[in-house]
Each structure stands twice: as C-alpha cells, then as structure tokens.
Structure 1
Amino acid sequence: MAVFTGSGVALVTPMKQDGAVDYPKLNELVEWQVNEGINAIVACGTTGEASTLDDEEHVSVIETVVKKVDGRTPVIAGTGSNNTQHGIHLAKEAERVGADVLLVVTPYYNKATKKSLVAHYEAISNNTSLPIILYSVASRTGMNLNYEMVKELKQIPNVVGIKEASGNIAQIVEIAQLVDKDFALYSGNDDQVLPLLAVGGSGVISTISNILPKETAQMVDDFLNRDIENAKTTQLKQFPLIKALFAEVNPVPVKAAVSLLGKCELSYRLPLAAPEAETFDQLKSQMTAYGLL
C-alpha cells in the first residue's frame, strides 16, 4: 500500500536574513499546506536545503513539522547521505521525533557499486522501523537507479516506493512494472506527473506544491478518479510556471516564489543565493499570469 496517494510537497525551509531557520514561518507554511489539502509533507528534502542544515537543525526542522502536522497528513523526512553511518543517524533521529516515512536519496559523490548500494540501503533499513522511499535523481547525485537496481532494492523489507526524478520516461515505464500493493511509484518531476500516473504511479513529490498545493493535489485526485480532461488541463496550465520554477537550480526559484507570496523571506544559505534578476522577473511574470500575484 502506498504511504500516501496524491501530492506530497517537498517543503522549502524558510530562513531569516541572517541564515537562521525561521521556525515561526515554517509553522505557518505547514499549517497552510495542511489546510490546502496536501497529501504529505517532505521535510528536509533537496527543496528544503537539507544539505546546508547541520544535524541539530535538520532534526529540529523535521520535529517542528511533525508537531505542527499533528497526525493530519504523513510527514516524510529526508535523511539521505553519502555517509551510511550519517544516514543511519538521521534515520534514527527522524524516527525518534515522530516522522512517518523516510526519503533516502542515493549516496552522492561516492559512486557506489550496485552491491555496495544495496548494502547501504540494507544498513539503513536494519536501523529503523520506518518505511523508506528511495530517491533517484542522477542529475544531483551522479547515480541512477535503473530497473535492475530498483528490483533488487525493492526486496529490502522497509522499502515501499521510489521518488523517480530521472526524467527518462522509458525508465519510468520499466520501473512501473515493479509497482504492486507493497511498492509505490512517485514522480519527482512536476512536468511529468500525468505520464507517471498513467503507468500506475501513486502521485508526486512536488516542488510546485509549495505555491499551488490545493490545485496539484486536486490534479492527481482528478486523474485517479478518471477525470482525465480536468487533470490534463491543470498539468498543461502549470507547465509555463514549472519552467520558471526550474530556470535555475531548485530550490532557488521556488523559494523566491514562496517569498513573493509573502510566506517566507528571500534568504538562502551559500552556496545557494537569490536568483538572477532575469529569473526573478520570469518567475514574477508567470505567477502573475497564473493569478497568484
């Protein structure tokens, strides 16, 4: 059974101008997302700038989200690392503070072999009782989870799904053959949600849901309830805005978009910084055209 069906938001981590995590704004964002009907919240994913949070902040952000959600929707904690022991530590901490699911990206930079990759996920699985969603995003990590790898990783007891962000439709279709009652497929790309749903996916772990939570969740719900035309209209309508949200590396534009909505400050941690003026203008133009501004 899928740990969630619909749209899960890969939530930004709001920060103050001095770079500190803005916990009041984080609480406000979580409450807004829940009230808008989001189907899951990912804390400390790529979009949440997890790579520049220290461990204390990382766990604190997850705990803050868990407490604010208060059981109203699943909380998925990003706990991936290229250091297996560090990944185990984060997994244990996420479980301790009440996360429902772990999102574990492939170990970046190290370029693990298939054998050592399986050992990496087995080691994490052996140290937590929480379900694990694999995260495959080779453009970030240099490591692609192909069909054969996913087929083997699927045998690990805690592994219950994959966030597939390769952008390769042929690979997505192949991996979709592994979907069953114990293994779910989620889109990691907002511009490919409907194609993935069409081959048996359960939803999306979404960036655009940071600014369009209700509509994105409704799009998935429409498709799964066979209102294909409505879902298609939404997917196509979102496309120009999605392009603007990825005009620079994620989460730079989407955090700017959230700030334009007045829901966080325009503040990042280096090596990320505010978007170029051209990107910001493009984003503002598309958000205005969409009726968000």
Structure 2
Amino acid sequence: MKFGRLLTAMITPFTSEGTIDWPKVSALIDHLIATGTETIVVAGTTGESPTLSHDEKLELFRRTVQHAAGRVKVMASTGSNNTAASVALTREAEQMGVDGVMLVAPYYNKPSQEGLYRHFRTVAESTSLPVMVYNIPGRTGVNLTVETMARLAEIDNIVAFKEASGSVIQAGKLADRVPEGVAVYSGDDALTLPTLAVGGHGIVSVASHLVGSGMQKMMQSYFAGDVQTAAKLHARYLPLFEGLFMAPNPVPVKYALSLKGLCEPYVRLPLVELDEEQKEKVKALVEAL
C-alpha cells in the first residue's frame, strides 16, 4: 500500500505568540520518522486546521515535504465543506510535492449522500494524487455510508478510507466492499486492533506521536499471526489512547509532547490548554510509558 500501516496525523507546534514553531516542526518530523511513522498527515484536525490560514497550510506542506526529503510519505489534508476551495487547495498541495491528500467529509452544511459522493469525486478528479477519504461523523455531522464509500472506491485515485465513525461493524463492512488495493484505516487509536481484525490495513494515529514504535509492533505482530502479543500491546496502550481524548484533540497530546520537549503545549483559540487536574492525568500516562 502506498502509505504504509502507520500514518501520524501530525500536530502543528506553536510558539507562545501563536505563530508556527518551525524548528519544532522539523524536530517533530524527525521524531516521527525515527519512531515508525510511514506517512505524515499535515494540517488535519490534529494539526488544528480550522485555525490555520491558507498560507500557513501551504507552508506546512512545503516545509514538511522538504524536511522529510523522501524518508516518509507526506499527505496533505486539503478537504473542507467548500468543494471549490478543496479543489484549489488540493491543486496547490500537489504543486508542493506532497504524495497524497486526505479529504474530510464536508462539515456543518450536512450534504446528502449524493452530495457527499459528488464532492469527493469532483476533488479527486481535479488531481493526479492518490486520495484518502476521511469519515468522522462526530466532527462533521454526517456519516458516509458504506454504500457511498464503496461507490467512491471505484474512482481510480481514491485509494484509502480513514474510518472514524467509531463503528467496527461499519469498518468491517467497508473493508469487505472495497476493491483489492483500496485500504481501510482506523481513525481511532483505540480501535486499531479491532479494525485490523475485520479487514483494516492500518491506523491514522494521534498516539503515535508518543508510542509509534509500539504501535508498529502491535500491527506487525497481528499480521504475523501473533495475536496474543498484539492484544497485550493494545491493552498496554489503551489507557493512553483513551486519555489523549480527555479534552479536545490535540490539546492532550500537545501537553504530553511538551513533557518530552518535542513541542510547547500552546493551542489556538477556541481550544484552550489543559487544566491542572488534566495535566496530572497526562503526566501519569506519560510516566507509565
């Protein structure tokens, strides 16, 4: 598969002034590569895309491609609830040299299934890049049905789905319906192993900022037939998977990374940093690792 099994939805480090901390971006890319990430997803929700400007996204794409220097794949998150704007950003990202794009389901305007299909088809047809379709109804207010995703899988350059509906049943049905060569990824760290068990290919992860090597080992163990080891690793990391969502993502993971010196905990409004009780819980999770 083009993007491997472990994709990390990379945070966007900020300075205390709220600007992008470019040295920390570079250091984080190196860290992710060293701990097993095979594709870095840039400017997704974990990267605080709603508060990144158009120019900041393009600069993130450009710098990540440049710093990664072919060591891993780079996937640009270019989707939005505006089809024309998604087409434009996708084309610009392609010019920056990214290896693929991730398109989230349109949010807030709640299109029909036919509207969702036409949106993704229009953006996919505007680029030669491989496309990952991202279904996350908890954030978008719409759920891509298995039938709609199966239709989308017939489009040549739609090669993957990030399934974050929270339903292993839906993930399994999707994995059964898509053609060979089209991959289904979990969009929820806690459902990585269950998704693999119903035909999934890998994970687009947040926790891999902290336990990338362990997540690689979990997946490799599963695919090697050592389900017992995979299950033990799943159980070991489950408190972290759950704890990183005690507050809106990416607030907890940014604080955890700050404890390891990999970024500062700063987020942009309307997100706010953890309170003291939450910080203590995250510290305990990091120490347990």
TM-score band, normalised by shorter chain: over 0.9
Higher mean C-alpha displacement, 99-108 vs 119-128:
119-128
CA distance in 2 between counterparts of 1:145 and 1:24 reads 38
Give how far 1:181 is off: 2.5
Q: Using the TM superposition, give the Cα deviation of residue 180 of structure 1 relative to its aligned residue in structure 2, in angstroms.
A: 3.4
Structure 1 residue aligned with 2:152: 153
Shift of 1:222: 1.7
- For the 8 Å contact 1:6–1:221, the answer to whether it is kept is no
Residue aligning to 1:198: 197
Mapped pair 1:33 → 2:9: no
C-alpha deviations, 1:217-266, integer Å up to 9, x for none?
22112211222122111111001111210101111111111111111111
1:116-155 alignment, distance < 5 Å: 116-155=115-154
Q: What is the TM-score of this pair, normalised by structure 1? A: 0.96
Pairwise mapping of residues 39-78 of structure 1 onto structure 2 (< 5 A)? Answer: 39-78=38-77
**For the residues of structure 1 that align with 2:58 and 2:216, how far apart are their CA atoms?**
27
Correspondence list, 1:198-237, <5 A: 198-237=197-236
Asked if the contact 2:128/2:157 (under 8 Å) is kept, the reply is yes
- Structure 1, gaps ≥5 residues long: none
Q: Secondary structure at the match of 1:134?
A: strand
Is 1:82 equivalent to 2:81 in the alignment?
yes
Deviation at 1:4, TM superposition (A): 2.2
Q: Identity over the aligned pairs, expressed in percent?
A: 38
Shift of 1:37: 2.3
Is the 8 Å Cα contact of residues 6 and 37 (structure 2) preserved in structure 1? Answer: yes
Match of 1:162 in 2: 161
How many correspondences in the alignment? 289
1:157 is displaced (CA, Å) by 2.0
Q: 1:140 is paired with a residue of what secondary structure?
A: helix
Calculate the TM-score normalised by the size of structure 2. 0.97
**CA–CA distance in 2 between the matches of 1:225 and 1:77?**
31
| Superposed CA offset, 1:96-121 (max 9, x none) | 11110111000000111122211111
Contact in 1 for aligned 2:153/2:178 (Cα 8 Å): no
Q: Deviations over 1:12-63 (max 9, x none)?
A: 1100001100111000000111122212111111111111100000011111
Q: Which SS does the other structure have where 1:212 is aligned?
A: helix
C-alpha distance in 1 between matches for 2:30 and 2:90: 24
Of the two structures, which has the highest relative contact order with CA contacts closer than 8 Å and spacing of 6 or more?
Answer: 1
Q: What SS class does the counterpart of residue 177 from structure 1 fall into?
A: helix
Gaps of 5+ in 2: none
Corresponding residue of 1:18: 17
One-letter amino acid of the counterpart of residue 118, structure 1:
Y
- Separation (CA, whole Å) in 2 of partners of 1:5 and 1:202: 8
